Amino acid sequence: MAIDFNGALTLADHAALSNDPLVKEITKSLHQTWNALKDIPLYTSPSLKQVGMRYLNSGIPAPNWTGVNSEPVAVKGRPKSYEEQMYLIRNKILVDHVLLDQPTNIIDPIEAQVQIFLEGFAYDFNDKFVNNNPATGNVDCFPGLSYRMDNPTDYDIPTEMDLALTGTSADLYTNSALTANNFIFKMQETLDNMNAPDGDGVVFYMNEATKRRIELNIRVMGIGAGFDITQDSYNRPVEKYKNATIRTVGRKSDGTTAIIADNLNNGVSGDAGKCTHIYAVRYGTGYVQGWQSGPFKPQYLGLSKENGIMHNVVFDWGIGLWIPHTRAIARMKVRVTV
């Protein structure tokens, strides 16, 4: 049975509606680590697969303009079917009962293990969301944004969704008013290509250095240039270009390696190894959504019945990405070094 994604909620929405304090606490933890998961509207369903239909630019039926007393003309579109699946995360935390019984404990050992697991999950999800290649990476996780953009025909993505900002015309290292204006021009072109000229529902994901470069170029231009700063529910600043959110996707679990590197390519030989990539994702009904098997929270199973000494906590959660629209994701490849 297909899922009706019209009722999909973000993790913040799920937390607001839930009376489970654990769901609220875990959602807060994910927000504090800037996990990309918090942006995805999620519907709860046990379905392992979703099959959908998408219409491409070919085979779109044309209306029949006619006069009074004329017969209607039958029309029929030719959609293309596609499929997405759910992927599972399963981990368990084991804590010896002796550790729980210590009178000198400052914090609960189980809570401490859950928190460090959530931190690791935040690092890994962000990395997989952008970089996972099922051919060379983890086949048991969804294809990342980079893989989808590198294989546009597999996902019916139009070529104009992958923009190469070539040479010095719109770079992020010259820091001149000309290149800054050209870069903003390309950001707007990206939004236009996504059917979101005002940025509604769009999030731009980039590395930390790229975000700093954009902030520098805004100052070089000396005007707002369409950028603004608001606050999220935790009173942290959130930068916007029109209605689109500008967000860093963070680092890998080593704490130093950027998830999106600065030595990538844009398809131009002279720019090879001098570029970074910015991903734009449009969330909302008909664009990018997801479904989960149930609330994202650990389940405490109590003391092991097998050995009688270990307390068991299990994470058992499934997630699938649902991207029905061919213009839901885009990429900007911009030069950032000399």
Express each pLDDT in 200-217 by its tens digit: 999 999 999 999 999 998
pLDDT value at position 208?
A: 94
Token pair belonging to 249: 């996707």
Mean of the pLDDT values across residues 114-138? Answer: 91
Q: How far apart are the first and last CA of the chain?
A: 53
pLDDT value at position 188?
A: 95
Mean of the pLDDT values across residues 171-178? Answer: 89
The rounded distance, in Å, linking the Cα atoms of 241 and 247 is 11
pLDDT value at position 162?
A: 96
Q: Which residue has the tokens 């689109």?
A: 244
Q: DSSP assignment, residue 251?
A: B
SS3 label, residue 98? helix
Task: Write out the DSSP string of 262-307.
Answer: SSB--S-GGGTTSEEEEEEEEBSTTSBEEEESS-S--EEEEE-TTT
Token pair belonging to 236: 């942290």
Express each pLDDT in 280-312 by its tens digit: 999 999 999 999 999 888 888 888 888 888 888
What share of the chain has pLDDT > 90, as a percent? 50
The rounded distance, in Å, linking the Cα atoms of 263 and 306 is 51
Task: Write out the DSSP string of 149-176.
Answer: HHSGGGTT--GGGEEEE-TTTS-SSS--
More reliable by pLDDT, 214 or 13: 214
Mean of the pLDDT values across residues 153-178? Answer: 87
Q: Let me know the angle formed at the C-alpha of 257 by 244 and 228, rounded to the nearest 5 degrees.
A: 20
pTM above 0.75, yes or no: yes
The model's confidence at residue 1, banded by pLDDT at 50, 70 and 90, is very low
